[in-house]
Amino acid sequence: MRPFRFGVNLLDPTVDWTATSRRVEELGYDVLLVPDHLGFPAPFPALVAAAAATERVRLGTFVLNAAFYNATVLARDVAATDALTGGRFELGLGAGYVKTEFDAAGIPFGSGGTRLDHLATVTRRVQELLADPEHRPAPAQRPVPLLLGGQGNRMLRLAATTADIVGFTGLSSDAEGNLQVQPAAALDERVAFVRAAAGERFEQLELNLLVQVVDTSASPDQGPAALAEQYGTSIDPATLAEVPTFLFGPPEQLAEELTAARDRYGISYFTVLSPFMEQFAEVAKLLR
């Protein structure tokens, strides 16, 4: 059984970056992560700055929009960032999903299949370049850990066969953008799909889950009901209560739930969003 790892994805672009980076490390998180959205700090310089302010915590992208990058240029930036952070960097890549950002950048949005094609091409080329001992700049790690994730078959197959870390979102949205929570049985099936696609390499994979909400002050009954009321009938409170994507209850109970989730799904790496990092730190401390 893999040991737990915990990451926090920093979503507020207005924070004091140095102080926040140090706080992430003080709270005991294993990985400090940044998203890749227009209007947010550029991921690579933000992570280098975080490295300068910290000593231990690993640093990653969660996740880069592959459509924003040329593979050769991206490999240069990954290698340089890994070197400048002392080998603490972890690369998370995704296909991109915010159409308005594509429009603002002047990049065709394309179909989901087109974006996945580009992601697969970028992933393969970056891995090839970073594996080349003659590549300059040289990364500190070989290989630089790679996270890919999602919910669809094609995305998870790519992750299962090429990545070191497979990420699960635990939710999706319908054509109208309504939030759709994946029940526990669906997460079972997605993990089983990755297991089959990965074959013999499955045991080498680390499995990640993005936790959407943490509320240690809400009861396990009240929390899901309040969230379901906030988002409407597309979310069933009973479904919310049974999946580790949404965590409601005192830290001791949540620690038990995550231990059970690791036993059931094999997921040992949990990422929380920065608004919940103080509350979740109490849970993580119990699982050390």
Domains in the chain, CATH or no CATH each: 16-144 (3.20.20.30), 165-288 (no CATH)
Of 75-89, 116-130, 222-236, which range is least confident? 222-236
Summarize pLDDT for 38-93 with one digit per residue, the tens: 999 999 999 999 999 999 999 999 999 999 999 999 999 999 999 999 999 999 99
Helix/strand/coil for 220? coil
| H or E element, residue 146 | strand 146-150
Instruction: Provide the pLDDT confidence category of residue 106 given band limits of 50, 70 and 90.
Output: very high
Instruction: Provide the pLDDT confidence category of residue 279 given band limits of 50, 70 and 90.
Output: very high
Check if the beta carbon of residue 168 is closer than 8 Å to that of residue 187: yes
Rounded alpha-carbon distances, angstroms, from residue 93 to 53, 123, 160, 186, 237: 24, 8, 14, 23, 31
CA trace torsion 177, 179, 184, 190 (10° rounding): 30
Report how far residue 51's alpha carbon sits from residue 83's, in angstroms, rounded to the nearest whole number.
11
Q: Which residues pair with 94 in a beta bridge?
A: 65
Q: State pTM to two decimals.
A: 0.95
